[in-house]
Structure 1
Amino acid sequence: MRRLFSEVDVGPLRLENRIVIAPMCQFSAADGQAGDWHLMHLGSLALSGAGLLIIESTAVLPEGRITHADLGLWDDLTETALAKVILAVRAHSRMPIGIQLSHAGRKASSGVTRQEGVIAPDDVRGWRTVAPSALPLIEGGALPEVLDLAGIDRVVAAFGDAAARATRIGLNLIELHGAHGFLMHQFLSPITNLRTDDYGGSLENRMRLTLRIFDAVKVAVPQDVAVGIRISATDWIEGGWDLDQSIELAKVLDARGCAYIHVSGGGLDPKRQTLPPLVPGYQLPFAEAIRGHVDMPVIGVGMITEPRQAEAAIAEGKADLVALGRGILYNPRWPWHAAAELGATVRAPTQYLDCAPHGLKVLFANPV
């Protein structure tokens, strides 16, 4: 049996295989609203044969966007725009679709391109950011506003509201973005969280915002919607957030009914982090370590590009699922090719059932 193409339960959600399309920012929204590009992008990926598609990082508040072109889900306009895209994709694909909800914290108000860098608050494209502590994203940059207790409550409520909107438009899964230097990660890490109140200091306090958001989202969605989280297992910075703390967070979330944990790394302060050699599967050891302490499924990432590499990650117990990002943008039919290489079955549209090149055996299941 090919483990990569075996079924798996992610909370209440049954997936046909263990290939996950990771959330990937497109920076193509207007005032947070999805448009034609999102229809083309998500429509293509929804025909790929993967087990799950997770929509890109989607801000729960306007000031929580990384850039002015980020996708959002904070009001009726953003909900309606995304609903149109989902409705069209659903007409041609049965693939479960989730969404990653986020708040960028001090990482917000950035340019769409790396050349633009951080956008000043007084720029027409920028705004004042918020964070757990008054630490700028870059040296000499604008100081974020420190979130007070009312501000924290507003963020928590916004996550719950966005999750409710996501389920109204038919999404099957909510992923909380607690990785890559976003707001939840900023509260988790002792490098960016210098608070002395109930949200800073001890590990229990630094986890408080993440757990409050998780609880609020669980309450806001029906029981048949999976709620999981993506974390950075380490800051790659001495004295920062690390694997031991990630394991403790994972255990607490597991006990609260978290459907899965998606394990990445870094992103808090790219200029300070010291990365290991970027070899295929370089972050899988974190997923494997966390997997040994929880019952919920663990999604592994980290330069997973080849079918046999992904199969080995599952078969060897390093992860329960694998997530693809850039690799599936480059090859949107990656699951088809993996099924052909591994001798497995994958779902495809009726219109494409006869597309396999002569001599290549692809076992298509029932159409999407």
Structure 2
Amino acid sequence: MKFKKQTKKHPFFQKAKIWQRELINRTVVAPMSRVSATEDGLATDEMMDYYSAFATGGFGVIITEGIYTDVYGSKSYDNQPGLTDFEQCASWGKITQAIHHAPTLVFAQLMHGGALSQNSKNTLAPSAIKPVGLKMTSYGGEGDFNLPKEMDLTDIQRMQQGFINGAINAHKAGFDGVEIHCANGYLLDQFLTPELNHRKDLYGGLMQNRFRVIAEIIDGIRNSVPKDFIVGLRVSEGKVNNLTYRWANGIETAKELAKEIKASLPDFVHVAVQTGEWERDSFYGDGISLASVMRKVTGLPVIANGGFHNLCQAESALNNNHADLLAIGKAALADPNWVVKTFNDLHTIPFHQDMLWPEANITHTQKIIQKLNQEKQ
């Protein structure tokens, strides 16, 4: 490891004062869909073991997989967990309690699949535009996406209330905050994307209108939870069904979006890159990244992700003012003790694509990890 002997001084592993909390380091577990809940959306004991392992493994913040927020169209795939009722809320309460045995924060990622739902024939979207690409087989999808229904104002209001109720339930379940999923091609990102949003009302057209649906969700959540409950947004250019998508106007669109985010007053922005390659897919030139634009324009703490298990890349992102915290996904998935092991210059379990293929659930991942370990012995 290149950073051996200096690892303990690496900025990734230094404490940080953010959200009026003392974070043990700048590491974040990125949200990763695990398709491991029960059929009725309850979080399981297997999920409790999975998430609590990241806390004991030294991560400062954990962001959960996407959690559906209503029963009208937000669910994205079978065996996705929800936060729509008392039973689902209680099932997550066991997980947050287990995580909080360590000094780790945990945020519930609230999402609506919109037109990219893998399991619904009656999908919703800002406009009736069929998504490109194919459904993901590792998440139970098959074939083309369906043509979604264009949401009317009742659909929009019901969807927004779902996010608000999801945040209320997340607080009741013991989460430290929520991340509103506005990225990766899912519903709220569909509102933000001009090629997918052809609306002529207050939710279409200019960036201010396309962002309005999100601003109203944030305002509703703020009025429904305690002031110290953390509310953040996840944004991206790329989409799960269109990995190479970039905004036509690049940095100008980034600045327009950042301006609207600043006005809506969230607590952080999480900038995602769909391919996992931050240096390749996040820059506009001259050392300016989407994360750095968000950080400069909004003045908010920024989480970046995309290959930051590479410590050289992590050091560059933190020291050059691109981000305040860094999220890692696949490396954490392969080894929940990644932080402790890396900090102490110990060997970590490398990620292998078979850990998420042909199934992306926890049981399959654990079987592959055990198999790979046995093959090494």
Is TM (by shorter chain) over 0.5? yes
The residue aligned with 1:201 is: 205
Q: TM-score, normalised by structure 2?
A: 0.78
CA shift digits 1:314-366 (9 cap, x unpaired): 12222111100011111222111332249xxxxxxxxxxxxxxxxxxxxxxxx
Q: Structure 2 counterpart of 1:49, which letter? A: G
Q: Select the residue among 63, 66, 79 that pairs with 2:89.
A: 79
Q: Structure 2 counterpart of 1:165, which letter? A: N
The sequence identity of aligned pairs, in percent, is 31
3-state SS in 1 of match to 2:180: strand
Q: Is the 8 A contact 1:190 1:240 kept in 2?
A: no
The residue aligned with 2:42 is: 33
Q: Is the 8 A contact 2:126 2:197 kept in 1?
A: yes
The residue aligned with 1:249 is: 257
The residue aligned with 1:283 is: 282
Q: Is the 8 A contact 2:116 2:145 kept in 1?
A: no
Q: Select the residue among 118, 123, 143 that pairs with 2:147.
A: 143
Give 1:206 deviation, angstroms: 0.8
1: CA distance, partners of 2:280 / 2:173: 35
Equivalent residues in 2 for 1:70-149, closer than 5 Å: 70-90=80-100, 92-108=101-117, 110=118, 119=119, 126-138=120-132, 141-149=145-153
Q: For structure 2, which runs of at least 5 residues remain unmatched after alignment?
A: 1-8, 134-143, 284-288, 347-377
Q: For structure 1, which runs of at least 5 residues remain unmatched after alignment?
A: 111-118, 120-125, 267-274, 343-368
Q: TM-score, normalised by structure 1?
A: 0.79
Question: Does residue 18 in structure 1 map to residue 20 in structure 2?
Answer: no
Q: Is the 8 A contact 2:110 2:163 kept in 1?
A: yes
1: CA distance, partners of 2:246 / 2:168: 38
Q: Structure 1 counterpart of 2:202, which letter? A: D
CA shift digits 1:182-202 (9 cap, x unpaired): 111000000110111111111
Q: Structure 1 counterpart of 2:265, which letter? A: G
Question: Does residue 305 in structure 1 map to residue 315 in structure 2?
Answer: no
1: CA distance, partners of 2:221 / 2:246: 32
2: CA distance, partners of 1:174 / 1:289: 22
Moved more, 4-13 or 255-264: 4-13
The residue aligned with 2:5 is: none
Give 1:279 deviation, angstroms: 7.0
Corresponding residue pairs, total: 317
3-state SS in 2 of match to 1:151: helix
Q: Is the 8 A contact 1:57 1:100 kept in 2?
A: yes
2: CA distance, partners of 1:141 / 1:103: 15
Give 1:80 deviation, angstroms: 1.6
Q: Is the 8 A contact 2:332 2:338 kept in 1?
A: yes
Question: Does residue 262 in structure 1 map to residue 270 in structure 2?
Answer: yes
Q: Structure 2 counterpart of 1:254, which letter? A: K
RMSD: 2.4
1: CA distance, partners of 2:158 / 2:250: 28
Which structure shows the bigger proportion of residues in helix conformation?
2
